[in-house]
Amino acid sequence: MGDSSAKVELGGKASEYKILSGSVGPDVIDIRKLYGNTGAFTYDPGFTSTASCESKITFIDGDQGVLLHRGYPIDQLAEQSNFMELSYLLLNGELPSKAELEKFSGTITRHTMVHEQLAQFYRGFRRDAHPMAVMCGVVGALSAFYHDSTDIADPHQRLVASHRLIAKIPTIAAMAYKYSVGQPFVYPKNNLSYTGNFLNMTFSVPAEEYEIDPVVEAAMDKIFILHADHEQNASTSTVRLAGSSGANPFACIAAGIACLWGPAHGGANEAALNMLREIGHIDRIPEYIARAKNKDDPFRLMGFGHRVYKNYDPRAKVLGKAATEVLAKLGKNDPILDVARKLEEIALTDPYFVEKKLYPNVDFYSGVILSAIGFPTTMFTVLFALARTVGWVAQWNEMIADPEQKIGRPRQLYTGHTQRDYVPLTQR
Ligand code: SDX
């Protein structure tokens, strides 16, 4: 933009607002004094033009399809890093040394067990409860068990709560799955990797040994990397808003899980696979493309489109490639992948999708891989929440430490009744 300030003329009065520049990406107009100067609010439903905070964690260039975590491109991290190392990077800002990574990983490992009484919470749910409903309830209950890490003014308690959340979310997620299939809970094993431990807690049974397939472990870890953080998306903004009131971190993450569940957000991975299964065959794709374009039909292509990416979601590129590789390595041939590929091909040449810059997003291919690994579709958003917990925790810590942050309290454009007198029932 180049200008150092933006001028506003309102009601015959002029006022000026500083332009702030980041290290990369759009400038921002600092409008914090706008209401005081003009008596007017800005109006931005859905926050399409609003920066809610300053952050150093994740940068997205939607036009170029770029995603950086602390400056490192997501495709390099997905190919060369692992989820534990990325977790350290998101929380601390730099890649760890070997010793730092071993210490961090060891700390997380020792927090993976949950309070034994937490298991009682699961028994209150019906067995067919959606696992995301269970996650909302159980994670929200954590503050009842870990009161010694809920004082957000104490940096040490913030650190312990952060480690507990990152460490326990796979255990809680695996328990949600086990409960849904009527199998016994499996305890964490400290000799396994973060992702290997999750797979063991999910798929092993006491009756026999469980071999962790390295192909599956690598695919799962890559999926966790690709879902770890994503700037100020709806669920991260929910976590920040909850945290701005001083709510404890466990309650904030439970709020993020609730928001992520929506089909417009993290729930889209479950909806996308269900949609692909409903389409079933490439011959039926034109019918669904037509429905997606029909304004009178609420149907949308799930896993397509994005508020920020007006280019191909870089995570979808990695997942699209991984889907072919993982299914081949597992010897699985899922016709749904052919439907997904054909749907993408048709949509990307259709003027409607081209004009609106609608591309596959992170949720379009992830379900094909998760299904091949053996997860039911109802677990897909749970896995998204598992991975995103480290991003939420990193963003929450950044918000708490930000001296500019205060309780989030948006205003409104009021279009309801102006003041009127109460009418007694006998006169109505
Ligand atoms: C995630 O924010 C994040 O970063 C989220 C996320 C993360 O990592 O945290 O990336 C994860 O949530 C990915 C998105 C998953 N959601 C879906 O796949 C659901 C399907 N997609 C859409 O519902 C939609 O694209 C959104 C919600 C993702 C984005 O919606 P926007 O930015 O509010 O855009 P919009 O609804 O205003 O759509 C713009 C136009 C509209 O047409 P017009 O009214 O302008 O004529 O594009 C159309 C929409 O109807 N459109 C679609 C479409 N998505 C948008 N039409 C058909 N199919 C779609 N999928």
pLDDT tens digits, 8-55: 999 899 999 999 999 999 999 999 999 999 999 999 999 999 999 999
Are the C-beta atoms of 206 and 184 separated by less than 8 Å? Answer: yes
Would you list the DSSP string of 213-249?
A: PHHHHHHHHHHHHHTS-BTB-HHHHHHHHHHHTT--H
The Å distance, Cα 225 to ligand 1 centre, comes to 22
- Which helix (H) or strand (E) segment holds residue 13: the answer is strand 13-20
Q: Residue 69: what are its φ and ψ, rounded to 5°?
A: -110, 110
Mean pLDDT of 191-207: 98
For 69-123, how does the pLDDT look when each residue is reduced to its tens digit (9 = 90+)? Answer: 999 999 999 999 999 999 999 999 999 999 999 999 999 999 999 999 999 999 9
Calpha distance 144→216 (Å, rounded): 35
The DSSP 8-state label assigned to residue 183 in this structure reads: P
Atom 54 in ligand 1: residue holding the nearest Cα: 305
What mean pLDDT, rounded, does the chain reach? Answer: 96
Global confidence as pTM: 0.97
For residue 109, give every residue at least 6 positions away whose Cβ sits within 8 Å of its Cβ, in sequence order, or none: 167, 188, 190, 194, 197
Higher pLDDT, 114 or 1: 114
Specify whether 221 is catalytic.
no
Q: Which atom of ligand 1 is nearest to the CA of 300?
A: 58
Closest CA to 365 of 314, 416, 401: 314
User: Coil, strand or helix: which one is 368?
Assistant: helix
Residue 135, pLDDT score = 98
| Cα 370 → chain centroid | 16
Residue 405, pLDDT score = 87
Calpha distance 142→164 (Å, rounded): 10
The Å distance, Cα 338 to ligand 1 centre, comes to 23
Q: Report percent pLDDT > 70 for the chain.
A: 100
pLDDT bin (cut points 50, 70, 90) of residue 2 is low
Mean pLDDT of 384-407: 96
- Which helix (H) or strand (E) segment holds residue 28: the answer is strand 28-29
Is the Cβ atom of 300 under 6 angstroms away from ligand 1?
yes
For 265-303, how does the pLDDT look when each residue is reduced to its tens digit (9 = 90+)? Answer: 999 999 999 999 999 999 999 999 999 999 999 999 999
Mean pLDDT of 343-347: 93
Is the Cβ atom of 58 under 6 angstroms away from ligand 1?
no
Question: What's the distance, Cα to Cα, between the start and end of the chain in Å?
Answer: 58
pLDDT at position 165 over 90:
yes
Calpha distance 316→271 (Å, rounded): 16
Residue 272, pLDDT score = 97
Calpha distance 108→168 (Å, rounded): 9
Would you list the DSSP string of 266-280?
A: TTHHHHHHHHHHHH-
Residue 3, pLDDT score = 73
Q: HSE of 298 in the Cβ direction (CA atoms, 13 Å)?
A: 2
Strands, sheet with 72-73, edge to edge from the N-terminal-most edge strand: 58-61, 66-69, 72-73
The Å distance, Cα 307 to ligand 1 centre, comes to 6
The residue annotated as part of the active site, out of 163, 221, 306, 313, is 306
Closest CA to 337 of 268, 263, 277, 267: 277
Q: Give Cα separations from 67 to 85, 170, 346, 395 (angstroms).
A: 17, 25, 26, 16
- Which helix (H) or strand (E) segment holds residue 29: the answer is strand 28-29
β-sheet bridge partners, residue 360: 304
pLDDT bin (cut points 50, 70, 90) of residue 198 is very high
The domain spans of the chain are 5-51, 72-403
Candidates 3.40.50.2300, 3.30.70.360, 1.20.1260.10, 2.20.28.60; CATH matching 5-51: 2.20.28.60
Q: For domain 72-403, give the CATH superfamily.
A: Citrate Synthase, domain 1 (1.10.580.10)
Would you list the DSSP string of 65-113?
A: TEEEETTEEHHHHHHH--HHHHHHHHHHSSPPPHHHHHHHHHHHHTT--
Specify whether 363 is catalytic.
yes
Calpha distance 217→121 (Å, rounded): 29
pLDDT at position 203 over 90:
yes
Calpha distance 428→425 (Å, rounded): 5
The Å distance, Cα 116 to ligand 1 centre, comes to 41
The residue annotated as part of the active site, out of 221, 229, 313, 363, is 363
pLDDT at position 1 over 90:
no
Mean pLDDT of 143-159: 95
Higher pLDDT, 76 or 347: 76
